[in-house]
Amino acid sequence: MTTTPPPRATARDWLGMTVLVLPALLASMDLSVLFIASPWISAELAPTASQHLWVMDIYGFMMAGLLITMGSVGDRIGRRRLLMVGAVAFGTASVLAASASDAETLIAARALLGLGGATLAPSTLSLIRGMFLDEDQRRTAVGIWTGAFTGGIAVGPIVGGFLLEHFHWGSVFLINVPVMVLLLIAAPIIISESRDPEPGPFDLLGALLSLAAVLPVIYGVKKVAESGATWGSVAALVIGIVFAGAFVLRQRTAAHPMIDVRLFARPAFSGSIVANAIVVFATAGIGLLAVTFMQTVLGLAPLAAALWMLPTVGGSFLGVAIASVLARTIRPATLVTLGLLISAVGFAVVSLVTSASSVGPLIAAYATLTLGVGMTATIVTSLVLTTAPPERAGAASALAETSSELGGALGIAVLGTLAGTSYRNAMAAAPVPGAGEAGMKAADTIGAAVSTAQELPRAIAEPLLRQAFDAYTDGFALAAILGAAVLGIAAIGAGITLRGVASEQVPETYE
């Protein structure tokens, strides 16, 4: 008995692929583009500490909370239609953010950006799932999308740094507008619509429960990262977990659920979701620490630090390319395990960096890390899409991206808190003679140490900075060691969980 091979993608499909990659890139760029613009925004809009926090966080909050809902909406109303709605929302919010004259307006605009981002990311990935039916071509397309989505976080500060050298801070948002206009023009012409042929009614209760589960967890993780475990942060985490349980129960009993939780019984699906969350956990947590290390300990200007990150983007794309080629003959378990181990090696080498190191060894280690990330993310994203039935591609895509958001938040919280605690303990253990109150301020953060030292006599400032740089480097290394350990354990788990998945195909039907 012979089977007809699936049709291969046409030139039009590949052209549509280039259009779909751009909004995925922008959606992830907007997670990090404000890292560089933050001082300019603070100077012009003078937000309170609480408002500044919301400006930075509300985009990720909204995006993480709405991804599952928007993926399900796209399955029902059409993924291309949802993509175009998201393009309008994203472009409008970008203009609103760029022209904001107060912190409240900017917060509202960033929330609308998060709504737009939550529609763009799952729509683009689920449309790719329907456009590329050939396994090899789909894996390549998913790899390109993965490289753009993961690389966008590193590209954000680079683009932001360049724009701020020449234009007003609002330009970091206005760059989104022409891409959204291009998307609105091109999508109806070259991208075919796709949806679930029998979607059933929208599960409003499920959507509300997903929001009630994700948002408190993200909030709790963020608060732990800022001030450690408190009653408020722990309560938020518990509430989120309770609602997550209610969401799962709802999905098991609803006639037309948003997602089929039976998918998690499939090792290929659940293993890929967990591997995706863990690899983002490690890289997001160490990424923020690495940029801070380059700007403070190594003394690089923001744009210079951002440009030094370019090789890490290249490492990610190289990993994508390697995975796309090797996946034709090598089992996913082997490739995911290899990718996680390569990332673990990168982390281990990062832990060897000292305060006297040059930037080169750090970037080499970081590029090794991102190479492994590119390999891992490409394979696990492809597995998530091919394990889920085609009519649920939007919800499956949203689950993959939600795991990324949760993994990133946890990574920043855990690794950031570990490094920060190590820094504060080291600074408090041996106060610099004569520093007094300034030494106490410097013990809060590495940034406070740098700014405080500028106001002190040289005889005190120099030993204070040496102590601060050594303390921060030790905390940075400790976080890298933990990241390496987590990835090493994840590599073992992935090898076991995915061992039964063949290299050429993943079952797409239910038993």
Q: Alpha helices, DSSP H only, in 30-102?
A: 34-45, 49-77, 79-98
Pick from 295, 313, 325: which is nearest to 446 by CA?
295
Reading the block at residue 227, the tokens are 């001030």
Q: Is the pLDDT of residue 510 over 50?
A: no
Cα 465–Cα 431–Cα 300 angle in degrees, nearest 5: 15
User: Given pLDDT bands bounded at 50, 70 and 90, which one contains residue 52?
Assistant: low
What one-character-per-residue DSSP string does 266-317 give? SHHHHHHHHHHHHHHHHHHHHHHHHHHHHHHTS---HHHHHHHTHHHHHHHH
Contact 116, 95 (CB under 8 A): no
pLDDT of residue 508: 41
Q: What are φ and ψ of residue 199, in 5° steps?
A: -75, -30
* Both tokens assigned to 187: 């999508």
**Mean pLDDT throughout 260-266?**
75
> Would the CA dihedral through 116, 118, 124, 127 be positive or negative?
negative
H or E element that contains 391: none
AA letter at 91: G
Cβ atoms within 10 A of the Cβ of 64, count? 25
* Tens digits of residue pLDDT in 321-343: 888 888 878 888 889 999 999 99
Helix (H) or strand (E) holding 261: none
The arithmetic mean of pLDDT across residues 232-251, rounded, is 88
Question: What is the C-alpha separation between 407 and 238, in angstroms, rounded?
Answer: 17
DSSP three-state, residue 502: coil
Write the pLDDT tens digit of every residue in 392-418: 666 666 677 777 767 776 776 677 778
C-beta separation of 193 from 108 below 8 A: no
User: Is a pLDDT exceeding 70 seen at residue 348?
Assistant: yes
Residue reference for tokens 């788990």 = 493
**Which amino acid is present at 15?**
L
Residue 354 backbone dihedrals phi, psi, to 5 degrees: -115, 170
Q: What is the mean pLDDT of residues 75-101?
A: 88
Contacts of 397 (CB under 8 A, 6+ apart): 71, 121, 122, 125, 126, 129, 384, 385
Q: Are 415 and 423 in contact (CB under 8 A)?
A: no
Q: Measured between alpha carbons, how far is 165 from 181 in angstroms, rounded to an integer?
A: 25
Which helix (H) or strand (E) covers residue 378, if one does? Answer: helix 359-387
CA distance 192 to 19: 13
Picking from 431, 472, 429, 476, the residue whose alpha carbon sits closest to that of residue 448 is: 472
Q: How far is CA 227 from each of CA 61, 231, 240, 413, rounded to the nearest angstrom? A: 18, 11, 19, 10
Residue 242 CB contacts under 8 Å (≥ 6 apart), including other chains: none
481 phi and psi, to 5 degrees?
Answer: -65, -45
User: In the prediction, which pLDDT does 506 show?
Assistant: 42
Instruction: List, for residues 367-393, the tens digit of each pLDDT value.
Output: 898 899 888 888 888 787 777 666 666
Contact 408, 276 (CB under 8 A): no
Q: How does 19-41 read in b/e, with b if 16+ C-beta sit within 10 Å? A: bbbbbbbbbbbbbbbbbbbbebb
The DSSP symbol for 234 reads: H
Lowest pLDDT segment from 281-295, 469-483, 494-508: 494-508
Length of the chain measured in residues: 511
Say which residues have a Cβ less than 8 Å from residue 428's Cβ, sequence separation at least 6: 443
How many Cβ atoms are within 10 Å of 359's Cβ, its own excluded? 18
**Residue 445 zone, left/alpha/beta (φ > 0; ψ -120 to 50; rest):** beta
Which tokens is 138 given?
Answer: 């789909």
Q: Which pLDDT score, from 0 to 100, does residue 36 have?
A: 63
Tell me if 364 sits within 8 A of 132, measured CB to CB.
Answer: no
Q: What's the pTM value of the predicted model, to 2 decimals? A: 0.75
145: Cα separation from own chain's centroid? 13
What CA–CA distance (Å, rounded) separates 404 from 410?
10
pLDDT confidence of 50, banded at 50, 70, 90? low
Q: Which of 106-110, 266-270, 386-390, 440-444 has the highest mean pLDDT?
A: 106-110
Per-residue pLDDT of 10-31, as tens digits, reads 788 888 888 888 887 877 777 6
Query: Average of pLDDT values for 133-149?
Result: 76
Is it the case that residue 504 has pLDDT exceeding 70?
no
Query: In terms of Cα–Cα distance, which of 70, 113, 69, 114 is closest to 213?
Result: 69
Residue entry with tokens 């939007």: 394
Q: What is the pLDDT of residue 226?
A: 61
More confident residue, 185 or 36: 185
Neighbouring C-beta atoms of residue 5, cutoff 10 Å: 9
CB atoms within 10 A of CB 301: 12
